[in-house]
Amino acid sequence: MSRPESGSGARVTRVSGPVVRASGMTGSLMYEVVRVGELGLVGEVVRQNGDTATVQVYEDTSMLKPGASVERTGEPLSLWLGPGLIGNIYDGIQRPLPELFRKGGAWIRRGERADPLDLSRRWEFTPLLKAGEAVTEGRAAGLVKETPLVEHKVMLPPGVSGTVRSAVPAGSYTLNDALAVIDTPAGPAEIKMLQKWPVRLPRPARERLRVSQPLVTGQRVIDTFFPLGKGGCACIPGGFGTGKTITQHQLAKWSDAGIIIFIGCGERGNEMTEVLREFPELKDPRTGRPLMERTILIANTSNMPVAAREVSIYTGITMAEYYRDMGFDVAVFADSTSRWAEALREMASRLEEMPAEEGFPASLPSRLAQFYERGGAVATLGGDRGSVSIVGAVSPPGGDFSEPVTQHTRRFTRVFWSLDTELANARHYPSINWLRSYSDYLEDVGEAWEKAAPGWRALRDEAMAALQREEHFRQIARLVGPDSLPDGQRLFLFTGGLLRDGFLAQSAFDEADAYCPLDKQAALLGAILAFHRGAAELIKNGVALAELSALPCAAELVRAKTAYAGVKELAPLEARVKEELAGLAKRKSAEAAA
């Protein structure tokens, strides 16, 4: 598309915060990028009426006045995609924050620009195409070692298919060098490392696939009780202080996704600062390399312009789709979608749209759906299998899960990790309430889980039943006192304590407990449930619960998560539990005989 003349005569007629109205915009397109005022503030057309257009500006509009010029670009808001994304830190509209810091210090100046990727850097390129070869869209033209952990595929863009006219040999090239020329029905097309893609347009795939592999996070309450599949979507709501951000940090650190994209969308600056300082120092638990070698950070804090907050999640999901198309499993963490929805509400009010529930725009459900539906497992255009998993934090005011953002998010996600204020206040982390949470991926990922830990599903269901009965007896105990319950019922209270303290609670600061492999999770759960089953049989035979709870193995079950590094060390624990229970039964039989 040809670029419109800069002197088109378009002028600002009204300014209302980040919303600007301009006249002389005949021929402008919806979601076209414009430059507003002398500083060239970046904006996007969101409404048209004759020759008047409404523009949402992604930067501070202070001192902008009616009469300021508006320059059209003729293009939608698009991302630069190519080697160099991994390890970088961007704001909501893909301005590289480290580069802006070098140019102007800690404060982003209005109208500040910087290339999202370094155009002068040379990358070692290994070609995969030969002259005369027939190729289709999505085919890898070559490989670039982006980081020691990421091999970047330079792909033919969607819509580009034909015959290879020429291809460069292996060597060192910049992002804008032509690596191959493809003869297509529409004419020759140059293939470069640098590609551009509109943020609001989902990247195409050949086929959507069934989610079948679990996203292993190493967090027991998630992996065992409420697993998320690779390509699935999860909602993690919670009130202030319940640990949404910390839980997402843990998932970003430990999940087995190939690429991590963390979007700080409207969060407090100190929380985002912690991420920016901590992530570059973290080591990948599987390779020992820095975690930033497979991570992209998008920082759009609450003090940044509200319009940029609205587009930041599209920036993150577009990058995720790009790496998905290379065959990677990508995990996207959005913290938080409530702040994003608040940006929608503010923009809608300035656009004078009719408000719906609690002032949110009527389009909130469809906007949430458009975001979450871009997750999924797919067969890519190039023939690989890739996935985008999305974990969206929700911050309901006052912890009220009946508010619109939480309720609508539940409609479009299949995993609900409900954070609990009481658990957080008791320093039980992750503070995921096991009675209010759920996962619809249990059947989907069950086969893969069983391969890692045979018998997992039976253990999981038995533990959930025990926790539900514990809550039932706990409510009765609150009315009549625990001493009024028979030992058979009090056993569920005791087992619930073992499950809470010995399995569900997990310390991020303990080296042995921060990450728990699937086989260790199953071994821990199996040992606790073996105690429960054996104790229930002994209670039926007249053994007192006090004697059972005094066994050394009972205390060892609580310490096992930190005392034993792996499943090999844990293997004898279940045998020890059975041995101590059998020993107690023998002693009681001997006493009865005497």
In a domain, 96, yes or no: no
Counted domains in the chain: 4
* Domain end position, chosen among 59, 76, 93: 76
In a domain, 104, yes or no: no
- Whether 227 and 136 map to the same domain: the answer is no
Proportion of the chain above pLDDT 90, given as a percent: 79
Q: Can you tell me the distance from the alpha carbon of 354 to that of 49, in angstroms, rounded to the nearest whole number?
A: 18
In a domain, 482, yes or no: yes
- Find the CATH number of the domain harbouring 178: 2.40.50.100
Q: Can you tell me the distance from the alpha carbon of 422 to that of 427, in angstroms, rounded to the nearest whole number?
A: 9
**473 three-class SS:** helix
In a domain, 310, yes or no: yes
Taking each helix axis as running N to C, give the angle between helix 487-499 and helix 552-563, from 0 to 180 degrees, rounded to the nearest 10: 20
Side chain identity, residue 151:
E
- Whether 66 and 128 map to the same domain: the answer is no
- Whether 298 and 360 map to the same domain: the answer is yes
Helix or strand (DSSP H, E) at 34: strand 32-36
Nearest to 123 by CA among 150, 162, 100: 150
Mean pLDDT of 471-483: 93
**Around Cβ 513, how many Cβ atoms within 10 Å?**
17
Q: Which domain holds residue 295?
A: 208-441
Mean pLDDT of 264-286: 77
Mean pLDDT of 68-81: 95
Q: Can you tell me the distance from the alpha carbon of 32 to that of 41, in angstroms, rounded to the nearest whole number?
A: 14
CA 260 vs CA 248, 387, 392: distances in Å: 11, 12, 14
* Domain end position, chosen among 372, 407, 441: 441
Q: What is the pLDDT of residues 536-571, one digit of tens each?
A: 999 999 999 999 999 999 999 999 999 988 888 888
In a domain, 112, yes or no: no
- Find the CATH number of the domain harbouring 348: 3.40.50.300
> Strand 329-335 vs strand 259-265: parallel, antiparallel, or unpaired?
parallel
> Strand 259-265 vs strand 438-439: parallel, antiparallel, or unpaired?
unpaired
**218 three-class SS:** coil
SS3 per residue for 529-556: HHHHHHHHHHHHCCCCHHHHHCCHHHHH
- Whether 434 and 394 map to the same domain: the answer is yes
Q: What is the pLDDT of residues 147-204, one digit of tens each?
A: 999 999 999 999 999 999 999 999 999 999 999 999 999 999 999 999 999 999 999 9
- Whether 370 and 468 map to the same domain: the answer is no
Q: Is 174 exposed, middle or buried (0-12, 13-18, 19+ CB in 10 A)?
A: middle
- Find the CATH number of the domain harbouring 470: 1.10.1140.10
- Whether 136 and 279 map to the same domain: the answer is no
* Domain end position, chosen among 164, 195, 226: 195
Nearest to 324 by CA among 257, 233, 387: 387
- Whether 338 and 305 map to the same domain: the answer is yes
In a domain, 471, yes or no: yes
- Whether 297 and 224 map to the same domain: the answer is yes
**59 three-class SS:** coil
In a domain, 430, yes or no: yes
Where residue 5 falls among pLDDT bands split at 50, 70, 90? Answer: very low
Mean pLDDT of 263-287: 78
- In the numeric block, the tokens 């009765």 are attached to 476
**346 three-class SS:** helix
Q: Can you tell me the distance from the alpha carbon of 177 to that of 190, in angstroms, rounded to the nearest whole number?
A: 9
- Whether 506 and 557 map to the same domain: the answer is yes
Q: Can you tell me the distance from the alpha carbon of 398 to that of 414, in angstroms, rounded to the nearest whole number?
A: 24
- Whether 287 and 224 map to the same domain: the answer is yes
What is the C-alpha radius of gyration for the chain, rounded to an integer number of angstroms? 28
Token pair of 201 as six digits: 């347009």
CA 59 vs CA 36, 96, 252, 399: distances in Å: 10, 15, 29, 31
- Whether 429 and 569 map to the same domain: the answer is no
Residue 7: predicted pLDDT = 44
> Strand 295-300 vs strand 329-335: parallel, antiparallel, or unpaired?
unpaired
Query: pTM of the full predicted structure?
Result: 0.93
User: Is the pLDDT higher at 397 or at 123?
Assistant: 123
Q: Is 400 exposed, middle or buried (0-12, 13-18, 19+ CB in 10 A)?
A: exposed
Q: Can you tell me the distance from the alpha carbon of 589 to that of 594, in angstroms, rounded to the nearest whole number?
A: 9
In a domain, 117, yes or no: no
Q: Can you tell me the distance from the alpha carbon of 35 to that of 16, in angstroms, rounded to the nearest whole number?
A: 17
Residue 181's DSSP bridge partners are 166, 190
Proportion of the chain above pLDDT 70, given as a percent: 98
Query: What secondary structure does DSSP assign to 260-302, as a single string?
Result: EEEEEES--HHHHHHHHHHGGGPBPTTT-SBGGGGEEEEEE-T
End-to-end CA distance of the chain: 97
Mean pLDDT of 359-383: 95
- Whether 182 and 218 map to the same domain: the answer is no
- Find the CATH number of the domain harbouring 56: 2.40.30.20
